[in-house]
Amino acid sequence: MSSTPITLTHDVPHGGAARSARTRGGVRNDRTRALLVAALCAVGMALTWTLAELVPAVHWRDAVLLYDFGRLSRPGVDTLANHLLHLLEPGLYTVWAALLVATALLRRRPRLAFAVAVVLPAAPGIAELMKPLLAHPHASVGAELVGPASWPSGHATAAMTLALCALLVAPHRLRPLVAALACGFAVAVACALLILAWHMPSDVVGGFLLATLCVSLAVAALGPAWDRPRSLRIRGSHSAERGQTAG
pLDDT one-digit tens code per residue, 145-173: 799 999 999 999 999 999 999 999 999 99
Containing domain of residue 116, as a range? 29-226
Distance in angstroms (rounded) separating the CA atoms of residues 192 and 70: 10
Residue 173 forms part of a structural domain: yes
Q: How many CA atoms lie within 13 A of 188 on its CB side?
A: 18
The model's pLDDT over 44-68, given as tens digits with 9 standing for 90+, comes to 999 999 999 999 999 999 999 999 9
The model's pLDDT over 113-130, given as tens digits with 9 standing for 90+, comes to 999 999 999 999 999 999
Mean pLDDT of 75-86: 97
Position 240: which residue type? A
Residue 121 forms part of a structural domain: yes
Residue 179 forms part of a structural domain: yes
Q: How confident is the model at residue 102 (pLDDT cuts 50, 70, 90)?
A: very high
Q: Which of the residue ranges 34-48, 69-83, 136-150, 184-198 would you say has the lowest mean pLDDT?
A: 136-150
Residue 183 forms part of a structural domain: yes
Structure confidence at residue 139 (pLDDT): 85
The number of distinct structural domains making up the chain is 1
Q: How confident is the model at residue 30 (pLDDT cuts 50, 70, 90)?
A: confident
Q: What angle do CA 193, 122, 94 make, to 5 degrees?
A: 70
Measuring CA to CA, how many Å separate 9 from each of 5, 12, 155, 193, 244? 13, 9, 65, 70, 20
Q: What is the pTM of this model?
A: 0.83
Alpha carbon 230 to chain centroid, angstroms = 24
Residue 231 forms part of a structural domain: no
Residue 93 forms part of a structural domain: yes
Q: Is 80's pLDDT higher than 50?
A: yes
Mean pLDDT of the residues in the chain: 85
Mean pLDDT of 182-210: 97
Residue 76 forms part of a structural domain: yes
Q: What is the dihedral of CA 152, 158, 159, 160, to 10 degrees?
A: 70
Q: Is 232's pLDDT higher than 50?
A: no
Residue 129 forms part of a structural domain: yes
